[in-house]
């Protein structure tokens, strides 16, 4: 189905076409007409399915059609889990709304709130925010959310995993009772269902892809290798195959820094992105990667959530995640918008159980390939994997949830 068949205004269609799109994805085909009617929507969509345009396009149209004279008030609020995703969604709003008259801003932590408060005072139509910073501003009466007509919760499952549920429910108290609500989630856990029941009014439910199924266009490969030779094999693969724009995942912040430094020593321009870096440093690292100045971006899971890099060809799991669902989110950074992509996992003997859990989730066996010269030593036995602070907290939080139904974990520092 073409975008011009979905009931969108000429200004939006012009922006979409200039961005190189004519045919809508399945999630866009289903969500756009529904949102235009004012209905509440519960949508299950994996990353890379085009869901951001699926809600920004109709949201912009509804804001434009119902705009009234007078001072600008915040009429749409989009809640997202991370700073990077806030910046990405904000960019999409500006891109698709370039021929419409509105003001928007991204509100998130890690930077001084002064500039954000100044933008709020000057008047905004749309706010894209992370829960923590938005709640702080709302409690300080620095932002008025009483005129919000459309609320979007994007990647709601990740916000719950990060412990934002209490902040989100507190934010609801600052919103008007009558509004349109849109909830997007890659998975529908029991907690997501409870949140949807509390938030949504007779919603239309959409599920466009099988749960936890990665994009079909991703070529997945496992390279068995000894742990001590992973970095050597990664450098070998990048050099031999002239790989450009490689997003590499590690489990910890320290591991991301160390690997980026080691790749630099190997003559491969690399930079790292994680929660311990300032927002300015994270923005610069991402800009260097997008421009090609940095060939490799090493990231932790939460820091990379929401990254949208056009045509990203390669994702590498330098270390497998402890949570199988995180594997799906990681490799979903590639093969977006109908393109092909490659996902490589460097797996040592310690990670065989993690790999089996991932394959069980995907219901498939990922192809294994031994790289000549990097054959694993069969004499090496598996050792327990030391969990980083985030994994330990995830495990602890899940235990709390099991023992105290309905209670969420405390908010954690993003990785």
- Are 139 and 280 part of one and the same domain? no
Across 283-306, average pLDDT = 86
The pLDDT value given to residue 213: 61
When mean pLDDT is compared over 109-118, 224-233, 401-410, the highest value belongs to 224-233
Task: Tell me, yes or no, whether 202 and 244 share the same domain.
Answer: no
Same domain, 147 and 7: yes
Burial (Cβ within 10 Å: 0-12, 13-18, ≥19) of residue 249:
buried
Q: What integer pLDDT is reported at residue 372 of this predicted model?
A: 96
Residue 49 has pLDDT above 90, yes or no: no
**Alpha-carbon gap, residue 49 to 38, rounded angstroms:** 22
Question: Does residue 224 share a domain with residue 179?
Answer: no
Residue 398 lies in a domain: no
- pLDDT attached to residue 389: 45
Say whether both 32 and 58 belong to one domain.
yes
User: Domain check: are 144 and 70 in the same one?
Assistant: yes
| Residues 192 and 274 both lie in one domain | no
Least confident of 121-130, 160-169, 240-249, 364-373: 160-169
Q: Is residue 404 part of a domain?
A: no
The number of domains in the chain is 2
Q: Write out pLDDT tens, residues 198-231.
A: 999 999 999 875 555 666 788 999 999 999 999 9
> Residue 269 pLDDT more than 70?
yes
Residue bearing the bigger pLDDT, 335 or 151: 151
pLDDT band of 408, cuts 50, 70, 90: very low
Within 8 A by CB and 6+ apart from 306, the residues are 80, 81, 82, 84, 85, 86, 87, 88, 89, 155
Please report whether residue 399 resides in a domain: no
Co-location of 202 and 225 in the same domain? no
Asked if residue 360 is part of any domain, the answer here is yes
Q: pLDDT for 143-195, tens place per residue? A: 999 999 999 999 998 898 888 999 999 999 999 999 999 999 887 888 888 99
SS (H, E, C) the chain: CEHHHCCCCHHHHHHHHHCCCCECCHHHHHHHHHHHCCCCEEEECCCCCCHHHHHHHHHHHHHHHCCCCCCCCCCEEEECCCHHHHHHHHHHHHHHCCCCCCCEEEECCCCCHHHHHHHHHCCCCEEEECHHHHHHHHHCCCCCCCCCCEEEECCHHHHHHCCCHHHHHHHHCCCCCCCEEEEEECCCCHHHHHHHHHHCCCCEEEECCCCCCCCCCEEEEEEECCHHHHHHHHHHHHHHCCCCCEEEECCCHHHHHHHHHHHHHCCCCEEEECCCCCHHHHHHHHHHHHHCCCCEEEECHHHHCCCCCCCCCEEEECCCCCCHHHHHHHHCCCCCCCCCEEEEEEECHHHHHHHHHHHHHHCCCCEECCCCCCCCCCCCCCCCCCCCHHHHHHHHHHHHHHHCCCCCCCCCCCC
The verdict on 225 and 353 lying in the same domain is yes
Instruction: Tell me, yes or no, whether 245 and 336 share the same domain.
Output: yes
At 184, give phi and psi (nearest 5°): -115, 130
End-to-end CA distance of the chain: 39
Encoded tokens for 94: 């500006």
| Ranges 105-109, 208-212, 317-321: which has the least confidence | 208-212
Task: Look at the pTM and tell me if it is higher than 0.85.
Answer: no
Q: Determine, yes or no, domain membership for 414.
A: no
What pLDDT, on a 0 to 100 scale, did the predictor assign at position 334? 87
Same domain, 172 and 148: yes
| Structural domain contains residue 298 | yes
Angle ∠(147,153,158) on CA atoms, nearest 5: 150
**Percent of the chain residues past pLDDT 70, beyond the cut:** 88
């Amino acid at each position: 189905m073409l975008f011009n068949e979905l009931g969108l205004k000429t200004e939006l269609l012009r922006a979409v076409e200039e961005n190189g799109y004519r045919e809508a994805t399945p999630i866009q085909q289903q969500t756009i007409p529904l949102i235009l009617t004012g209905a509440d929507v519960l949508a299950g969509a994996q990353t890379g399915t085009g869901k951001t345009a699926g809600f920004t396009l109709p949201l912009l149209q509804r804001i434009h059609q119902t705009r009234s004279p007078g001072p600008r008030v915040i009429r749409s609020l989009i809640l997202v889990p991370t700073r990077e995703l806030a910046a990405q969604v904000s960019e999409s709003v500006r891109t698709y709304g370039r021929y419409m008259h509105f003001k928007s801003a991204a509100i998130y932590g890690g930077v001084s709130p002064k500039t954000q408060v100044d933008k709020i005072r000057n008047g905004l139509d749309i706010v894209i925010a992370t829960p923590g910073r938005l709640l702080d501003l709302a409690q300080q009466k620095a932002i008025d959310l009483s005129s919000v007509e459309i609320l979007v919760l994007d990647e709601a499952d990740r916000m719950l995993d990060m412990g934002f549920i209490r902040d989100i429910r507190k934010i609801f108290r600052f919103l008007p009772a009558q509004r349109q609500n849109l909830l997007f989630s890659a998975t529908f856990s029991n907690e997501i269902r409870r949140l949807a029941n509390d938030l949504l009014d007779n919603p239309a439910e959409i599920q466009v892809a099988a749960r936890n199924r990665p994009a079909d266009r991703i070529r997945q490969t496992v390279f068995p290798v000894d742990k001590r030779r992973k970095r050597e094999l990664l450098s070998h693969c990048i050099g031999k195959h002239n790989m450009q724009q490689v997003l590499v995942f590690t489990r910890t912040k320290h591991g991301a820094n160390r690997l980026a430094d080691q790749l630099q020593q190997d003559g491969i321009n690399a930079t790292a992105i994680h929660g311990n870096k300032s927002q300015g440093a994270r923005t610069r690292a991402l800009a260097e990667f997008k421009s090609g100045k940095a060939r490799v971006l090493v990231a932790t899971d939460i820091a990379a959530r929401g990254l949208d890099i056009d045509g990203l060809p390669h994702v590498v799991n330098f270390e497998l995640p402890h949570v199988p669902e995180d594997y799906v989110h990681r490799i979903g950074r590639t093969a977006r918008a109908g393109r092909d992509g490659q996902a490589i996992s460097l797996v040592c003997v310690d990670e065989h159980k993690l790999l089996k859990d991932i394959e069980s989730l995907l219901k498939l066996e990922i192809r294994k390939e031994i790289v000549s010269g990097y054959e694993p030593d069969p004499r090496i036995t598996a050792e327990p994997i030391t969990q980083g602070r985030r994994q330990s907290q995830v495990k602890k939080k899940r235990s709390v949830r099991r023992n105290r139904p309905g209670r969420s974990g405390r908010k954690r520092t993003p990785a």
